[in-house]
Amino acid sequence: MLPISSLLGSVSSFFFVLLSFLFVLTVVVFVHELGHFLVARWCGVRVKTFSIGFGREVFGFNDRYGTRWRVSWIPLGGYVKFMDDENAASAPSSEALARMMLELQDMGCHNINLVTPEHVVPQILEALPFAVERGLQLPIVYNTGAYDALESLHLLDGIVDIYMPDFKFWDRELSLKYLRARDYPEVARAAIREMHRQVGDLVIGGDGLARRGLLVRHLVMPGGIAGTREIMRFLAEEISKDTYVNVMDQYYPAGRVSRERFFEINRRITRAEYDEAVRAALEAGLHRLDQPRRLAPVI
């Protein structure tokens, strides 16, 4: 058996480590949330609550802007709650999301464009009945990088009007290098097949606005590393020769791309590279191409 003194020492050490961890966590959370708070103030967004910890308030005060500063019983994190937020996570309720859609319709927007939305598909499905009951008539656009699970897409069958995926890379190893997802090409192919099964080729109304269907975007990369020719052949042979394709020229180096890292894409594309991408699409049999009016200059 351990001596009483050793046992007490172990217990004391445990509580010291625990309290030290909670103190450090509290400081880190405070600095992190303070950043949210300062940006909100700078942008003119009213902050309702600045809380360190969760649960019942231990003490707090209101500043001259009406923000409630509080410390709560459970010091495991914290949050900034903005005015009109539905909850501390700043996540709108289904009814609030439906109201946003209706407000966009009232403003004259042409569609409800959901950008990279797979992680909130359940919330979207909860909100849409409220919006439709209140008069929503706009097309629903699912705007994505095509790295979507089929399970999510199956839930959207009959819901989404327009799918707008990017097809970024064809090669598995390059997908791993640039996207950190070796399985991106096969996931994207399966997703685009399912999207086309649901909505078919893109239908454009007399006013020039898309009504329903699939629109695939492809960003031309320096040196042709995206695998443009293979992607265009896939779209023509396995999806439809009537697939509407936006061949994009706007790549520019950013983020971690530099002369030292990813140097091979540390430039804009050339006119010849873009023309080759368009040629690859036409030679594959695609004919509905959305092209930019002019190519950005090479940097």
Q: Is 53 helix (H, G, I), strand (E, B) or coil?
A: strand
Q: Are 216 and 241 in contact (CB under 8 A)?
A: no
pLDDT given for residue 114 in this prediction: 97
pLDDT given for residue 30 in this prediction: 74
Can you give the residue ranges of every domain in the chain? 4-82, 139-290
Which stretches in the chain have pLDDT values below 70? 1-11, 22, 75-76, 83-91, 291-299
Residue 236 is encoded by which pair of tokens?
Answer: 């023509």
pLDDT given for residue 73 in this prediction: 79
pLDDT given for residue 76 in this prediction: 67
**Predicted model pTM:** 0.73
pLDDT given for residue 298 in this prediction: 44
pLDDT given for residue 242 in this prediction: 98
State in words which class domain 139-290 has.
alpha beta
User: Which CA distances in Å does 298 have to 114, 199, 225, 258, 271?
Assistant: 32, 37, 17, 16, 8
Residue 213: burial class (beta carbons within 10 Å; 0-12, 13-18, 19+): buried
The 10s digit of each residue's pLDDT in 228-269 is 999 999 999 999 999 999 999 999 999 889 888 999 999 999
The 10s digit of each residue's pLDDT in 32-53 is 777 878 887 777 778 888 888 7
pLDDT given for residue 41 in this prediction: 76
